[in-house]
């Protein structure tokens, strides 16, 4: 029995744990949250770590939404609460809008589309924990929202001579810890289309590039190290 005054024994790192952290770092690089130099520095920490505590340091300051099936190629990225904008507005009046790429999604987003519309691509967006509200009002227009796997969508909108539609939600979105996108509002002679899609080609290419770099780290491990 361990004495209460004696430190707990260090837990050795397994190959599976090392690979999981390497994949998580690669996912952050794929989503433009790490530079190539920072990726290399953190990968070095991964393959130099001999304990789980040391391994966890490689992920310091990074956050991913947990997913039961852990698909590292397109995880949901979480943002620190301090940097999440409280609210924002997007408008399309006889025109259009498009939002994509890496950005922090506000806690409350209002979209107004009149005789126009737009596209909101959330595959590289960073979500706040919990519920994000998107409120849409459209007249003779609408919006398309692309959601990454692992985000739970709650659709509460209504329409007259139009509609709110949702397709492709995967089972991982029902994880109780997954971020929630709650879409509400009203459409008149228009519509809102919510689709779940995997990563962009750019994200997949960057993920593969990062995973290729991990091979050098694995090759540098001495025989038998990290076996659990």
DSSP sequence for the chain: ---TTSPPPPPBPPHHHHHHHHHHHHHHHHTTSS-HHHHHHHHHHHHH--BHHHHHGGGTT--B---TT--TTSPPEE--GGGS-SEEEEEEESSEEEE-SS-BPPSEEEEEEES-EEEEE-TT-EEPSSEEEEEEEEES-EEEEEE-TT-EEEE--EEESSEEEEE---GGGG-TTS-EEEEEEEEES-EEEEEE----HHHHHHHHHHHHHHHHHHHHSPTTTT--
Q: Give Cα separations from 132 to 11, 28, 76, 94, 182 (angstroms).
A: 38, 21, 13, 27, 6
pLDDT tier at 227, thresholds 50, 70, 90: very low
Provide the pLDDT for residue 2. Answer: 44
What pLDDT, in 10s, does the model give residues 41-90? Answer: 888 888 888 888 888 888 887 766 544 344 444 567 777 788 899 999 99
Instruction: Say yes or no to pLDDT of 214 above 70.
Output: no
pTM assigned to the model: 0.62
What pLDDT, in 10s, does the model give residues 158-183? Answer: 888 888 888 877 665 567 778 899 99
What pLDDT, in 10s, does the model give residues 184-196? Answer: 999 998 888 998 8
Q: Which two tokens stand for residue 37?
A: 């130099």
Instruction: Say yes or no to pLDDT of 202 above 90.
Output: no
43 vs 220, which has greater pLDDT? Answer: 43
Provide the pLDDT for residue 66. Answer: 47
Provide the pLDDT for residue 67. Answer: 44
């Amino acid at each position: 029995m361990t004495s209460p005054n004696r430190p707990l024994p260090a837990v050795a790192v397994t190959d599976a744990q090392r690979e999981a952290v390497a994949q998580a770092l690669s996912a952050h690089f794929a989503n433009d949250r790490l530079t190539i130099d920072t990726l290399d520095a953190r990968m070095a920490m991964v393959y130099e770590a001999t304990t789980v505590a040391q391994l966890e340091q490689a992920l310091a300051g990074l956050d991913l939404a947990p997913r039961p099936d852990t698909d590292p190629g397109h995880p949901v990225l979480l943002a620190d609460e301090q940097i999440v904008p409280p609210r924002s507005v997007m408008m399309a009046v006889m025109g259009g809008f498009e939002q994509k790429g890496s950005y922090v999604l506000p806690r409350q987003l209002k979209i107004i589309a009149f005789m126009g519309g737009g596209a909101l691509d959330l595959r590289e967006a960073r979500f706040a924990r919990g519920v994000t509200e998107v409120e849409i009002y459209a007249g003779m227009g609408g919006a398309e929202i692309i959601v990454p796997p692992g985000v739970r969508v709650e659709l509460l909108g209504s329409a007259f001579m139009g509609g709110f539609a949702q397709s492709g939600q995967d089972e991982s979105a029902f994880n109780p810890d997954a971020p929630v996108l709650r879409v509400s509002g009203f459409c008149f002679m228009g519509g809102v289309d919510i689709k779940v899609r995997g990563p962009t080609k750019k994200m997949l290419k960057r993920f593969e590039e990062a995973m290729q770099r991990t091979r050098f780290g694995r090759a540098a491990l001495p025989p038998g190290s990290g076996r659990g």
